């Protein structure tokens, strides 16, 4: 069988387009006993390599696309992988190219040794792939966005780096910011031909303000110490270095430079791995022992000279000033001081920026704007005017008012309703200076609202535990009636009560049995109300922690909170058992006095000094013996309805 091949290719102008794939149509004429036959093959080429082929299909009801395509993962792979079906030849070519770029594993290019280094090549040792792989394994790719290869050669390390980032795609961030440096002109041609960016020739004379996350290098063995020192200088503000050295550079630091380098590496906690025989089967062979040096320099923490200067000036002013006691004492004073320092430093920074703007404008004469802008909130400014300053002031005030409203001295006393009310007011405070005067004003308002709010909260707790659900069979035994002062509706609670908490059991896929948020929304308000009555006698206990601990243990019964044990049932009830009769008495007395169910002389006169009518109410409520015990601790049990709530308010 004789065959005749005819090849035609697409052309772009007078030369082949090396940036885009081309079509090659190959027609093979064969002669056999049956006569002549023609076969047509459509190849897709890119930069001199066949990267895929396109087949023509018979179009019918079952196949509506006239072209199907395959791409080759490797040169010489004539089988290929399916790239898709297409309506046009151009679409098929583009589809092959796209799939090939995403998945191809091109072979390393081979170069004529005569084209490698043009000058002295005694220090040119291309990095073997196995050794390059060990170097790549020492890199923390999660933080790498920019790379410098300062002794790039013909790109062996860079090609291995591309493979390493491909295998770690979940860490890769489209690693395209790669700079190369290479002394030899021929090697620079090779690098640019591969598409790498060559930014300089001699690394030791390279000066830049650019920051690199990674410097990976195989410098000349005879001068490796100087090259590593240069890399350390560039990375002094933070970054990674992975460097290949002649082992003798570190094993035998006989010069002052090498000793200094070794000391620096030790202080930086460098990892050093010595490897023998790494170049025995390399492209250029040697029995030299090498060392891989890996250094991870932490990012430098920058200090603000403006901030420090303002802080020092403020400290001197504060020492000369006398301050009155506020909520939280020194902590609030420190917040006011920090606010003043932060604002003063930022405003001076803005002034410095405005002064710099004329020198950093773009070169456009028709429309010039600053190369660097300041963003305040969601607004960017080339020059910060009054509107920008005021926008910043509102933001920084809001931050400090928000911090104030989250002080434990305040939030620990807030019920859920009060918390919602004052959280909604933070936005309004952005227009008020964060000053001692305004803090006193807001704390005074908070205290007034808290007094009213906590009184209502305590009464709500009492109502929830008694009359609110007395119609429900489960909770009808909560309420205990007694003969009140001029009323027959007086009632109280006992040590055990049942309240509804619907949705207390969780349906979480995480296996939690209790719905912590729902439970805290009910029991949290009860606990804060009892905190007010208890006046700090009972040891602290964090309800959030208790609930999480119970959930972790799968516990739903007899969970010990600060004032009571609680058991939760799926039907939506919570059984509460108080630890101490003292808390029951505090709640009953507060509610009874607030609703005038007790005689006016309750807590003021001894039992014997009361009228018969008054003694009758006391007997029905708690009895003589219990009343006398209350009288012995009247300051504790007879909680005032206008009691000061917030720390330091009395000094304002």
- Which helix (H) or strand (E) segment holds residue 418: the answer is helix 416-423
pLDDT at 438: 84
Alpha-carbon gap, residue 213 to 142, rounded angstroms: 10
Shortest CA distance to 411 belongs to which of 265, 583, 531?
531
**Cα 557 to chain center, whole Å?**
37
**Contacts with 572 (C-beta within 8 Å, 6 or more apart), sequence order:** 500, 501, 502, 503, 504
The most confident of the ranges 157-161, 194-198, 435-439, 545-549 is 545-549
Alpha-carbon gap, residue 337 to 10, rounded angstroms: 74
Scored b (16 or more CB within 10 A) or e, 38-59 reads: eeeebbbbbeebbbbbbeeeee
On whether the CB atoms of residues 610 and 627 are closer than 8 A, the answer is no
Check the CA dihedral 552-557-558-560 and report its sign. Answer: positive
423 pLDDT band, cuts 50/70/90, is low
- Give the count of beta carbons closer than 10 Å to the beta carbon of residue 607: 15
Among 56-65, 267-276, 362-371, 591-600, whose mean pLDDT is lowest? 362-371
Look at residue 529 and give its three-state secondary structure: helix
On whether the CB atoms of residues 373 and 381 are closer than 8 A, the answer is yes
DSSP string for 129-171: HHHHHHHHHT--GGG--EEEETT-TTSHHHHHHHHHHHHTTTT
**Contacts with 508 (C-beta within 8 Å, 6 or more apart), sequence order:** 515
Look at residue 541 and give its three-state secondary structure: coil
| Residue range 65-83, pLDDT digits in tens | 888 998 887 655 667 788 8
Straight-line distance from the first to the last Cα atom of the chain, in angstroms, rounded to the nearest whole number: 110
Alpha-carbon gap, residue 586 to 583, rounded angstroms: 5
Asked whether the predicted pLDDT for residue 218 surpasses 80, the reply is yes
Asked whether the predicted pLDDT for residue 321 surpasses 60, the reply is no
pLDDT at 533: 87
Residues in the chain: 652
635 pLDDT band, cuts 50/70/90, is confident
Select the more confidently predicted residue: 490 or 411: 490
Alpha-carbon gap, residue 459 to 639, rounded angstroms: 13
Q: What is the pTM of this model?
A: 0.50
Q: Write 502-508 long-range contacts (CB < 8 A, 24+).
A: 502/572, 503/572, 504/568, 504/572, 504/574, 505/556, 505/568, 505/570, 506/551
Q: How high does pLDDT run on average in the chain?
A: 80
The Cα diameter of the chain in Å comes to 137
Alpha-carbon gap, residue 573 to 567, rounded angstroms: 8
On whether the CB atoms of residues 320 and 359 are closer than 8 A, the answer is no
The most confident of the ranges 170-184, 259-273, 496-510, 637-651 is 259-273
**Contacts with 609 (C-beta within 8 Å, 6 or more apart), sequence order:** 601
3 pLDDT band, cuts 50/70/90, is very low
pLDDT at 291: 92
- Tally the C-alpha atoms within 13 A of residue 160's C-alpha that lie toward its C-beta: 21
- Give the count of beta carbons closer than 10 Å to the beta carbon of residue 627: 19
Task: Determine how β-strand 239-246 pairs with β-strand 214-217.
Answer: parallel
């Amino acid at each position: 069988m004789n065959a005749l091949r005819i090849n035609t290719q697409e052309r772009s102008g007078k030369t082949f387009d090396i940036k885009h794939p081309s079509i090659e149509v190959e027609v093979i004429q064969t002669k056999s006993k049956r006569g002549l036959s023609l076969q047509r093959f459509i190849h897709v080429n890119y930069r001199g390599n066949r990267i895929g082929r396109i087949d023509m299909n018979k179009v019918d009801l079952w196949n509506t696309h006239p072209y199907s395509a395959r791409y080759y993962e490797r040169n010489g792979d004539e089988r290929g992988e399916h790239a898709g079906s297409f309506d046009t030849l151009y679409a098929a070519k583009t589809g092959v190219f796209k799939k090939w770029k995403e998945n191809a594993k091109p072979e390393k290019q081979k170069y004529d040794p005569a084209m490698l280094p043009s000058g002295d090549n005694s220090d040119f040792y291309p990095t073997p792939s196995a050794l390059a792989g060990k170097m790549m394994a020492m890199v923390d790719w999660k933080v790498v966005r920019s790379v410098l290869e300062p002794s790039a050669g013909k790109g062996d390390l860079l090609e291995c780096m591309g493979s390493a980032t491909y295998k770690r795609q979940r860490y890769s961030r489209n690693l395209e910011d790669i700079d190369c440096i290479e002394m030899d002109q021929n090697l620079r041609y090779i690098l640019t031909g591969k598409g790498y960016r060559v930014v300089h020739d001699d690394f030791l004379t390279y000066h830049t303000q650019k920051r690199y996350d990674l410097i990976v290098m195989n410098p000349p063995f005879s001068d490796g110490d100087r090259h590593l020192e240069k890399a350390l200088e560039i990375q002094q503000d933070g970054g990674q270095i992975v460097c290949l050295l002649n082992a003798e550079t570190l094993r035998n630091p006989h010069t002052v430079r090498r000793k200094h380098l070794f000391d620096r590496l030790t202080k930086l906690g460098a990892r050093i791995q010595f490897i023998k025989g790494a170049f025995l089967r390399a492209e250029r062979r040697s029995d030299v022992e090498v060392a891989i040096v890996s250094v991870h320099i932490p990012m430098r923490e920058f200090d603000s000279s403006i901030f420090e200067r303002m802080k020092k000036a403020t400290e001197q002013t504060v020492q000369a000033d006398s301050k009155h006691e506020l909520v939280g004492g020194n902590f609030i004073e420190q917040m006011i001081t920090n606010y003043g320092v932060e604002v003063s430093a930022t405003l001076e920074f803005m002034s410095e920026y405005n002064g710099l703007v004329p020198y950093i404008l773009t070169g456009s004469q028709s429309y010039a704007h600053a190369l660097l802008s300041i963003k305040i909130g969601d607004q960017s400014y080339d020059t910060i005017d009054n509107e920008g300053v005021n926008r910043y002031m509102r933001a920084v005030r809001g931050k400090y008012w928000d911090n104030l409203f989250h002080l434990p001295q305040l939030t620990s006393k807030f019920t859920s309703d009060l918390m919602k009310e004052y959280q909604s007011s933070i936005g309004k405070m952005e227009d008020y200076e964060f000053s001692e005067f305004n803090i006193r004003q807001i704390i005074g308002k908070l205290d007034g609202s808290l007094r009213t709010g906590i009184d209502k909260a305590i009464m709500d707790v009492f109502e929830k535990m008694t009359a609110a659900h007395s119609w429900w069979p489960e909770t009808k035994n909560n309420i205990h009636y007694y003969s009140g002062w001029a009323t027959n509706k007086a009632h109280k609670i006992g040590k055990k009560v049942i309240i509804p908490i619907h949705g207390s059991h969780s349906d979480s896929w995480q296996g939690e049995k209790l719905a912590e948020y729902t439970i805290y929304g009910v029991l949290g308000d009860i606990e804060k109300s009892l905190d007010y009555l208890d006046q700090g006698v009972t040891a602290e206990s964090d309800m959030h922690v208790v609930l999480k601990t119970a959930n972790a243990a799968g516990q739903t019964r007899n969970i010990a909170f600060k004032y009571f044990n609680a058991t939760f049932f799926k039907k939506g009830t919570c059984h509460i058992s108080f630890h101490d009769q003292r808390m029951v008495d505090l709640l009953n007395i507060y509610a009874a006095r607030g609703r005038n169910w007790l005689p006016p002389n309750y807590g003021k006169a001894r039992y014997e000094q009361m009228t018969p009518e008054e003694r009758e109410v006391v007997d029905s409520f708690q009895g003589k013996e219990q009343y006398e015990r209350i009288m012995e601790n009247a300051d504790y049990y007879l909680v005032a309805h206008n009691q000061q709530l917030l720390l330091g308010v009395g000094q304002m």
